[in-house]
Structures are given as structure tokens and as C-alpha cells.
A = this chain, B = another copy of it.
Amino acid sequence: MKSVIVKQKEDGNILATTDNPAPEMGPEDLLVKVHHAAVNRTDILNKKGKVNYAVNPILGVEAAGTVVDANGSRSFSEGDRVMGLVNGGGYAEYAVMPADRAMPIPQSLSFAEAAAIPEVFLTAYQTLFWIAELKYQETVLIHAGASGVGTAAIQLAKQLRDAQVIVTAGSEEKLQFCRELGADVLINYKEQSFADAVQEATNAQGVDVILDFVGARYWDKNLASIKEGGRWVLIGVLGGSELSSADLMPLMSKYVQLTGTLLTPRSDAYKAELSKEFTRVVTNELERGSIRPVIDRIFPIDEANEAHEYMETNSNIGKIILEVISGEA
């Protein structure tokens, strides 16, 4: 089968399409004919050799497709449309997906749309509800609002908790898109200090929850923006991971809870439980379109390198998708 692996080159690793045998199922796996996969930053780190938890030589942590071998599953049959996290191997014609984390694709969604769901929606769900425990009508600051996880988090916070959603992004186009998804307060971080704008938007109370993809560069401003007792979840360090000078006192005086998290290296059991809860809680919203996946652009799988390069420009709004079966929506 066609699949995408990493090829080491002297001037940096690139992706290469190769022919591999179809993957072998474990006793609890489904074999899925992949229609679409999606690109994630973890794939880029993996390509560059910067993460050590990838064991599958084929890239890709999520996919959407059709079950071709249900392997005795009581939940799925051959022909079922499924989406979900995979332990590597998404960028390929066939992938194995543990049955306990496969999610039925809502009828109203295409395979491409389904491929845009698992990683970012499960990450947003995990951070907002499992870690930050966002409550009804609380206030949440979502950095990188137009990113994959950002667009998912805006909708989940709004639709499931009626939260006041404050987003940051670096262009008017991105901010207007965030508003369409439900964001209440838009902050262009290139034009104003987001900390000042948050104070203004919250009557100097600060926010209950922060979703932070930025890390070191925003440390002081995030602490200035959070409410007493607020929960701050660190899910990315696009602004660096090295703090060169940071004050710990506000963590104490404001009783802040700062939690770091990642999804890809979590255990199989964790991913299964998260996927099940997400399916139970969010499927109806996806079915009727009140929550929707956001696709920026679809690349043919043979252009995986171009898809990675495009992600590194940070110009996307929502997900970057790889089309494995050409011509199918």
C-alpha cells in the first residue's frame, strides 16, 4: 500500500511516499481503509526527529475511512465509516485503529471533514473539560484562536458551556473567522497587548481559563490575564519553552493552577476513554452542524511535504488535510 515515511537527508528530513505492506492488526484493532488523514504539528516534530514517542515509521496520528476488517468487534462492522486517533500510520492507504477509540462519523460529515476532527477536538475537549474543568458561563482565553485546536475549542466552550470566549490571533481575517465560530472578544496580538485587552473585556477580573499554545513568551501576560483561582493549560510552546525570567509569586497570590498536557503520548486507555466521552457528548452537535470541523486546505497525499511546509507558515485557519483516495469528499 502507499504510505508516507520520513527520509533522512543531509539538509533536513523530508517525507517520501513508499510502498509498504498493509499494517498488521492487533486483537483489539480495526483495519481501516483511509480516505483522509490530517496533518499535525507532532508529525512535523516527528519528521524532524524531535519527539521520541513515535514508533510507527509511517507518519500520521489520525485518520478517517471505512472499516475493511472489523476483527470481531462488537461495536463496528465492515463498511462502517470511522474516524479516530491512530498510533502512527495515518498517512497511508490502510491503517489500524484500536476499536475502543474509533468514533462513528456523523452522517452529515464527509470523510475529509471527519479527518479534521479527532486530534484537535479531542485535545480541545481534554484541555477545556477534563483538565481546566470549564464551568457554565465562565470566561476562557484561547490563544491562536484560528489554529486547529483553537477553532475546536471556541466551538466547544461556546456550545457546551455558553462560555465567554476571548481569542487572540495575528490577523483580522483569522479573528473574523473566530467570531463566526462564536468568539465574543477578538484580540489582534500584533496590534495591542492581549493582557490589556483581557483586563478591559473582563472588568479587570481576568479569565477563569487560559488555553496556551505559546508558553514562555506569554508567561507574564498570561499571569496578568488570569483570575484568582484560574486554570491555565499549557498545550504548546510555539513561543519557546525556556523561561529566561519569570516570577512565581503571581502563581501563589492568585492561586493559579497551571497544567501541562499533550495528547499523542497518552496511553491507549486514556485515548479510548476520551474518544468515548467525546462521541457521547458531541456527536449530536456535529450531526446538526452547531459544532463543525474546520478545514483550511486539502493536499493530495503525494504532496505531504507541501502540506507540512504550509503548516509551518502558520497561515492556515483550521485543519490541513491529506487526501488518500483521490476525488472523494
Tell me whether A289 is interfacial, beta carbon within 8 Å.
no
Tell me the minimal C-beta distance from A303 to chain B in angstroms: 30
Protomer copies: 2
Tell me the minimal C-beta distance from A181 to chain B in angstroms: 25
Residue A252 contacts which of B234, B242, B252 (CB distance < 8 angstroms)? B234
Tell me whether A329 is interfacial, beta carbon within 8 Å.
no
Q: Smallest CB-CB separation from A248: which chain B residue?
A: B241
Which residues from 195 to 240 on chain A have a C-beta closer than 8 Å to any C-beta of chain B? 215-216, 234-237
Residue A251 contacts which of B234, B253, B265 (CB distance < 8 angstroms)? B234
Q: Is the CB of B243 within 8 A of A237?
A: no
Docked complex Cα distance between A259 and B215 (Å): 17
| Chain A at the B interface: SS class | mixed
Docked complex Cα distance between A251 and B131 (Å): 14
Tell me whether A262 is interfacial, beta carbon within 8 Å.
yes
Listed residue (A244, A248, A254) with the most chain B CB atoms within 10 angstroms of its CB: A248
- The answer to whether residues A243 and B248 also contact, given A257-B258, A258-B257, A260-B254 and a CB cut-off of 8 A, is yes
Docked complex Cα distance between A243 and B248 (Å): 7
Tell me whether A191 is interfacial, beta carbon within 8 Å.
no
Q: Is the CB of B242 within 8 A of A245?
A: yes
Residues of B within 8 A of A16 (CB): none
Q: Is the CB of A246 within 8 A of B246?
A: yes
Tell me the minimal C-beta distance from A26 to chain B in angstroms: 24
Tell me whether A310 is interfacial, beta carbon within 8 Å.
no
Q: Is the CB of B252 within 8 A of A260?
A: yes
Residues of B within 8 A of A215 (CB): 248
Which residues from 276 to 304 on chain A have a C-beta closer than 8 Å to any C-beta of chain B? none
Docked complex Cα distance between A320 and B246 (Å): 33
Residues of B within 8 A of A246 (CB): 242-243, 246
Q: Can you list 30 residue pairs at the A/B interface with Cβ under 8 Å?
A: A215-B248, A216-B248, A234-B248, A234-B252, A235-B252, A236-B252, A237-B252, A241-B247, A241-B248, A242-B245, A242-B246, A242-B247, A242-B248, A243-B243, A243-B245, A243-B247, A244-B244, A248-B260, A251-B258, A251-B259, A251-B260, A252-B260, A253-B260, A253-B262, A255-B261, A256-B259, A256-B260, A257-B257, A257-B259, A258-B259
The 9 closest A-B pairs by CB, nearest first: A251-B260, A252-B260, A257-B259, A243-B246, A241-B248, A241-B249, A258-B258, A215-B248, A243-B243
Which residues on A are within 8 Å of B, measured CB to CB? 215-216, 234-237, 241-262, 265
